[in-house]
Amino acid sequence: MSVKPQSASDLFAGPFALGTLSAGDGPAFPALIDREGQVLDLREALADPALTMRGLLERWPTVLPRLRELASSEGLSRPLADFRVLAPVEPRQVFQSGANYRQHVIDLHVAHRAPGDERSEEERRAEAAEVMDRRAAEDLPYMFIGLPTSVTGPYDDVMLPAWAQKPDWELELAAVIGRPAYQVSPEEAGEYVAGYTIANDLTDRATVFRRDMPQIGTDWLRSKNAPGFTPLGPWIVPADSVGDTSDLQLTLRLNGEVMQDESTKDMIFDVARMVSYASQSARLLPGDLVLTGSPAGNGMHWGRLLRDGDVMDASITGLGTQRTRCLAEEA
């Protein structure tokens, strides 16, 4: 069971986007969707019956001109409503970033008061700001690895595990890699991004820190990688259609109420620096995701975590909207 998707009319920037769809119980296939909500099966259009979205991205530099041609043709004739919208890509690697929105980091620093820390909120906010300024000056983003198995569709239900005591939302702009990238500079990084999509990086706040082994620190496996904890999509919008990513608005509504509403202007490190940083240590592959952090306004800030029946509507300028419903797993 999943929440019914939104209308296609306000989907995305540019003339077309890419998605992964299925019809009934049929196989998933990569599709081109125009702004009228009409669909073109790219297996047929590109004469490749086994084509997947990841396979398409592996050909990105050469296939993009053909996609532009197809978007302007008369071949898009099936309505999006005939299909189920899945996660737009199955990544091999998911690179996640933390502490990349200034106000969000300050809020988290205040919310996660260490035992015995008797300093005022003002003092702790000042400390967080100083740490971020130092990180920005030293050009050191904070990144870690997520599991592809946490990815789910943009309209699928999300199961909240029985062990997750404080499940939280984190809306993020995700860059989708279109060329193998290794040790690329920030100036080059944009050339390796095929497009952008929406990710909601759900996190169980209760298991972020290892209370039994505080010297080890964070436990991202436990807190972020349950099945379905990364709703993705609905679309991959080509980078040239999105354009400048320095002022995109991220908005998350919980049961209709705005919880996150912030611009990427609040990022400490921009997309290019995040992609470049990840590539210094790892080889990024076509279809991989680079999540760029979440702005202020998560559940810890509001004192209201996710629970059974909650519906999240998450949107980013030019990328459309995803809608996911939460279901609580029985203990």
- Tens of pLDDT, residues 213-265: 877 888 888 889 999 999 999 999 999 999 999 999 999 999 999 999 999 99
62-87 confidence digits (pLDDT tens): 999 999 999 988 766 799 999 999 99
Q: Report whether pLDDT(209) > 90.
A: no
What's the pLDDT score for residue 153?
A: 98
Q: Over 90: is that where the pLDDT of 298 sits?
A: yes
C-alpha 33: how far from chain center: 20
Beta strands in 123-206, from DSSP E residues, in sequence order: 142-146, 151-152, 158-160, 167-168, 171-177, 193-200, 203-204
Which of 84-88, 95-99, 133-137 has the least mean pLDDT? 133-137
The sign of the torsion formed by the CA atoms of 257, 101, 285, 225 equals: negative
The model's pLDDT over 38-52, given as tens digits with 9 standing for 90+, comes to 999 999 999 999 999
Every domain of the chain and the residues it spans: 16-86, 94-101+142-328
In order of 94, 274, 315, 329, the CA distances from 261 in angstroms are 24, 22, 10, 29
pTM given for the model: 0.92
Q: For residue 154, which of 303, 36, 8 has the smallest C-alpha distance?
A: 8
Average pLDDT, the chain: 92
CATH superfamily of 94-101+142-328: Fumarylacetoacetase-like, C-terminal domain (3.90.850.10)
Mean pLDDT, rounded, for 161-166? 96
